[in-house]
Amino acid sequence: MTSESLLDASGVCKSYGPVAALRDASLTVGPGEVHALVGANGAGKSTLVKILTGAVRPDSGRILIRGRDRKVHSPAEARRSGLVSVYQEPALIPDLDVADNLRLTGTPVDPFMKWVRALGIDKLDLFETARDLPLAVLRILDLARALAIEPDVLLLDEMTAALPANLAEKVLDVVRRQCETGRSVIFISHRFLEISALCDRATVLRDGETVGVVDVEAGVEEQIVELMLGTRTELGRAAGKPQQSAGDRRPEGETPRLRISNLGAGTKLEDVSFDLQVGEVLGVIALEGQGQDELFGVLSGSRRALTGKIEVDGTEARFRHPADAIRAGLVYVPSNRVDALLMQRSVRENIALPFCAGAWGPIDMAKENVRVDGAIERLQIDTRAQGEVQRLSGGNQQKVTIARWIATGVQTLLCFDPTRGIDIRTKREIYSLLRELAAQGSSVLLYTSELEEVQLVCDRAVVIFGGRVVDVLPADIANEPTLMRAAYGLPREVSSDAIPGSAPAHGASGIELGPA
């Protein structure tokens, strides 16, 4: 097998500090094969891609290209050894025209143009600046540029994500033809439809390990989802999780804290509608890049919506600045703490920051002490490392970003993957805190990349795929397999344990939620 495969990577490991991104990943691609690489968020796909293309060096492992050991140390070397990749983001330099971009990478123009035409773009001005071209065209040009080099192995990362249907069809066509000449393609996609239409085999990654290689045939989706889930260790239910969800307790006809109708923003968020009730923790589940960043951006006031409307407590709201959202009671906790913290300043100043935004005058230190100390105690922030926030641990830093809003008396907390990269103890503390807040009448919108968190903290979960709500599930049926299927846009499985006798009516389907 090894001798005849084009690419053979085995035992690839990579750790970033204490975090193992890849434990034991392998990937074997035969000649003339379209090979899918799949895995949930954080499974290690992107790390493996970066290693294959030479952007990141593995800690251990072996990569053979055409049976020869290749130490790939840079994208240029990977390219010379016959592996070319097309990334999710356009790779042309925006301020150069197309011709200059080609010259920069030494791409021959004639084959490039041939591929551009084959990919369905008839008119292309080589002297147009890349910045002025639409995103879909840029993706096509990236692909044509890769094809023009005639690579042995072509790596496509979410190639069809930004493409309209007709161009996507052309791309799949070209990929198929590419393989007829004995070349191979590694195809990374969240779309099972494309995978089953195009790919021969699929390698499934979970928690940094290759957990299976399957032949793509009818019904393979189930097999892949199962592999992606595996048997995962239970985190244990968070303290204070009510058996009854807030949705059930809510009296009929009460205005929701937040009603989102047909919201669209940027290129990814197309049409999302849902309600967030008073006292509810609502999970948002989505694969990477399905529009969740845009959704939280709009709700937190850092981005403008293109379509749709937001109602807070029954009144329509429009946010031009995070300050507007905060005034309406919507506060944002980003996953990346670097975005939210003043790293060189003290815990106190970080927590008190939202107050200073509105009050420039002298600070009542006694009052501030009470508020800050209260928040620190409630979140049990370890302040032994006095002084700068950058000296705190990651978990404690994340607590500071939340404490800031606890101190102000939060109404609606927008949490974007707040437990990413923090330890289990802090995770549990954050879960209990979110439940406590909900019990006290606050509402929480929680985007999470860890599916188990839905049943640990949420009352319901909204699943977004391709910029649209594809399902709304009450927490009691939102187990990992169900969520995973929904997140991949698959229909809900009707199995015996998944039929909720007591499911709230509003949780049955996302389509019913949107205003007609």
Partner 1 sequence: MSTGTAVAIPIGRRLRRFLRDQPLVPLIVLLVGLVIVLEVLRPGIVNERWIANTIKFAIPLAILASCQTLTMLTGGIDLSVGIVATVSAFVMATQVTTHDPAIAIAISLLPAILIGLANGIGAGVFRVHPLIMTLGLSLIATGGLQVYQRTVLATGSAIPDSLAWLGTGRTNGVPNSLVLFVPLAAVIILGLRRTGFGRLLYAIGDNENAARLSGVRAWQVIVVLYALSGLLAGIAGLVYVGLIKAPSLSLAVPLLLPSVAAAVIGGTSIFGGRGGYGGTIVGALILTVLTTLLTVLQVPEGARRILFGFIILAVTAAHVRITEDS
Binding site for partner 1 (CB under 8 A): 300, 302, 321-323, 326-327, 332, 334, 338-345, 349, 352-363, 365, 387, 404
| Phi, psi dihedral angles at 415 (to 5 degrees) | -105, 125
Please identify, using beta-carbon distances, which residue of 46 and 401 lies nearer to partner 1.
Answer: 401
Give 443's strand partners: 412
Please identify, using beta-carbon distances, which residue of 201 and 327 lies nearer to partner 1.
Answer: 327
Please identify, using beta-carbon distances, which residue of 309 and 345 lies nearer to partner 1.
Answer: 345
Please identify, using beta-carbon distances, which residue of 263 and 328 lies nearer to partner 1.
Answer: 328
**Residue partners of 148: CB distance under 8 A and separation at least 6:** 107, 108, 111, 112, 114, 115
Please identify, using beta-carbon distances, which residue of 58 and 329 lies nearer to partner 1.
Answer: 329
Q: Which among 467, 461, 367 is positioned nearest to 407, based on CA atoms?
A: 367
Q: Which among 430, 422, 400, 411 is positioned nearest to 240, based on CA atoms?
A: 430
Please identify, using beta-carbon distances, which residue of 327 and 492 lies nearer to partner 1.
Answer: 327
d(Cα 406, Cα 511) in Å, to the nearest integer? 34
Measured from the CB of residue 330, what is the shortest distance to partner 1 in angstroms? 11
Give 222's strand partners: none
Measured from the CB of residue 338, what is the shortest distance to partner 1 in angstroms? 8
Measured from the CB of residue 361, what is the shortest distance to partner 1 in angstroms? 6
CA 363 to chain CA mean position, Å: 40
User: What long-range pairs does 176-183 form, CB within 8 A, spacing at least 24?
Assistant: 176/34, 178/147, 178/154, 179/32, 179/33, 179/34, 180/32, 181/32, 182/31, 182/32, 183/6, 183/31, 183/32, 183/150, 183/151, 183/152, 183/153, 183/154
d(Cα 315, Cα 43) in Å, to the nearest integer? 41
Please identify, using beta-carbon distances, which residue of 290 and 397 lies nearer to partner 1.
Answer: 397
Q: Are 212 and 43 spatial neighbours (Cβ–Cβ below 8 Å)? A: no
Measured from the CB of residue 405, what is the shortest distance to partner 1 in angstroms? 9
d(Cα 49, Cα 61) in Å, to the nearest integer? 14
Measured from the CB of residue 393, what is the shortest distance to partner 1 in angstroms? 16
Measured from the CB of residue 387, what is the shortest distance to partner 1 in angstroms? 7
Measured from the CB of residue 383, what is the shortest distance to partner 1 in angstroms? 15
- What does the block give as tokens for 68? 């020869």
Q: Which among 446, 412, 449, 414 is positioned nearest to 431, based on CA atoms?
A: 446
Please identify, using beta-carbon distances, which residue of 364 and 377 lies nearer to partner 1.
Answer: 364
Measured from the CB of residue 401, what is the shortest distance to partner 1 in angstroms? 9
Please identify, using beta-carbon distances, which residue of 192 and 416 lies nearer to partner 1.
Answer: 416
Measured from the CB of residue 400, what is the shortest distance to partner 1 in angstroms? 11
Q: Which among 69, 66, 132, 130 is positioned nearest to 99, based on CA atoms?
A: 130
